[in-house]
């Protein structure tokens, strides 16, 4: 056994770890302990399924029928099929319409208006107004869908039909006559609160003296917002756009419970298309390829937002 006493002092100095390295060596187990479980969960539940999904997209895997017994590697066939499929391209178009009008225009604009209104000192009943806007966010998706199914029901007992009837209108099948408009409005209703909260927080960070200075210089309210406020909250706005894009492209339950993609495929957004292909038609290979294509589109959109906002995420 070798004692430290036997080692020359110079050698001891050379082999002894420096203070920062020693601290790093001591803290490494703690770092692993703290980050390890999260890293394992991310690896097991996000990374590996994503990699497996990528692999599935390159195969003709099916869940049922004889084809389920012997899946084969088919290269990029599924991607070629989807990118030449009118149904899939149509579903991407439906997704774009849904995203543009419900999230990018609807939630963002109305959320901003609500936030600005709530930041005005002269507004009365802010608590009530804020609570009313927040309520849709806390309602579970299925409950919200079924509630709106009742509101938009075809029968004369449907809530909206009762309202129109009070003005002499005939009962209307809203989910048949304007299905896309219906799901857009419902999604705006549901996502408005989150936008409002984010924009309210951003507006509070805008220095009041800058606003005051602009007003002293003669700027009108719209000019102040356009040239002072908006540039200062550009980061949070684009961050919100990034988040709402991701969440809206992934919307499934809201549309499935209201229209199931119908009528005639008018609301078959990409999430419904993927569900139908992968789980109803049992074509997991094609469903996985559609998911990967959607993921790439969202990543591209996300990169654009981040670049525009110069947001660090």
Partner 1 sequence: MKRTNVVAAFTASVVVAAGLTGCSSGGGDGSDGPVTITIMETKQTNIDAIGKEIPGFEAEMAEQGKDIKVELIADVLTDEQFMTKMTQQLIAGQAPDVLDIGENMAISWSSAGYLAPLDDYLNEWDGWSHYYPAVKEAMTRQDGQVYSLPSGAGVLNLFYRKDILTELGVDTTQPETWDDLIARLVEVKEKTGDTPIVIPAGTAWGGGTWGEGFMPLLGGTDTEFYDTETDTWDLESPGWLAVFELYDDLVSNGLMPVEDLQNPNPWEPTKYEKFPEGEIQVAAQGTWGWKFDWGPDGATPIEGLEEKVSTWQFPGLRSGDEPYGWSSTGGGYAISEDSEKKEAAWEFIKYLSTGEPLAEQLVASGAASARDDLDDVAPYSEEPQLLQAGKDLGESVFVVTGDGAAQIGQAVASATELILSGEADGQQAYDAFVKDATDLLGPTLVKE
For the bound state, the minimum distance from the C-beta of residue 160 to partner 1, rounded and expressed in Å, comes to 15
For the bound state, the minimum distance from the C-beta of residue 191 to partner 1, rounded and expressed in Å, comes to 23
Work out which of 74, 134, 149, 151 binds partner 1, going by CB under 8 A. Answer: 149
Scanning 103-111, 160-168, 181-189, 274-282 for contacts with partner 1 by CB under 8 A, the matching segment is 274-282
Please report whether residue 35 would count as binding partner 1 according to CB under 8 A. Answer: no
Scanning 27-35, 94-102, 122-130, 239-247 for contacts with partner 1 by CB under 8 A, the matching segment is 27-35
Please report whether residue 218 would count as binding partner 1 according to CB under 8 A. Answer: no
Residue count (the chain):
313
Please report whether residue 65 would count as binding partner 1 according to CB under 8 A. Answer: yes
DSSP secondary structure of 196-221: HHHHHHHHHTS-HHHHHHHHHTT--H
Work out which of 4, 6, 9, 69 binds partner 1, going by CB under 8 A. Answer: 69
Distance CA 67, CA 70 (A): 6
Work out which of 129, 234, 257, 311 binds partner 1, going by CB under 8 A. Answer: 257
Scanning 3-11, 212-220, 229-237, 256-264 for contacts with partner 1 by CB under 8 A, the matching segment is 256-264
Work out which of 262, 301, 302, 304 binds partner 1, going by CB under 8 A. Answer: 262
Site residues, partner 1 (CB under 8 A) = 26-27, 29-30, 32-33, 36-37, 62-69, 149, 154-155, 173, 175-176, 257-265, 276, 279-283
């Amino acid at each position: 056994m070798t004692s430290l006493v036997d080692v020359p002092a110079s050698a001891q100095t050379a082999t002894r770890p420096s203070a920062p390295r020693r601290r790093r060596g001591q803290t490494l187990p703690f770092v692993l302990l703290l980050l390890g479980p999260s890293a394992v969960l991310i690896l097991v539940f996000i990374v590996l399924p994503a990699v497996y999904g990528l692999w599935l997209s390159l195969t003709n895997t099916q869940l049922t029928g004889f084809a389920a017994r012997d899946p084969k590697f088919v290269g990029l066939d599924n991607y070629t099929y989807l990118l030449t499929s009118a149904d899939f391209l149509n579903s991407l178009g439906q997704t774009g319409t849904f995203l543009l009008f419900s999230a990018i225009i609807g939630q963002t604009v109305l959320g901003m208006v609500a936030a600005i209104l709530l930041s005005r000192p002269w507004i009365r009943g802010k608590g009530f107004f804020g609570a009313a806007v927040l309520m849709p966010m806390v309602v579970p998706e299925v409950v919200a869908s079924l509630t709106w199914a009742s509101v938009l029901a075809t029968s004369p007992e449907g809530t909206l039909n009762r309202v129109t009837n009070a003005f002499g209108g005939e009962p209307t099948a809203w989910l048949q006559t304007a299905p896309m408009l219906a799901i857009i409005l419902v999604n705006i209703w549901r996502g408005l609160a989150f936008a409002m909260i984010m924009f309210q927080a951003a507006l509070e960070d805008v220095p009041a003296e800058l606003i005051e200075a602009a007003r002293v210089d003669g700027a009108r309210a719209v000019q102040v917002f356009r040239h002072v406020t908006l540039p200062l909250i550009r980061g949070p706005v684009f961050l919100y756009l990034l988040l709402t894009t991701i969440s809206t492209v992934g919307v499934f339950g809201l549309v499935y419970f209201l229209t199931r993609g119908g009528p005639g495929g008018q609301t078959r957004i990409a999430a419904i298309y993927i569900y139908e292909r992968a789980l109803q038609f049992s074509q997991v290979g094609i469903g996985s390829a559609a998911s990967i294509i959607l993921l790439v589109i969202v990543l591209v959109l996300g990169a654009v937002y981040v670049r525009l906002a110069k947001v660090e995420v």
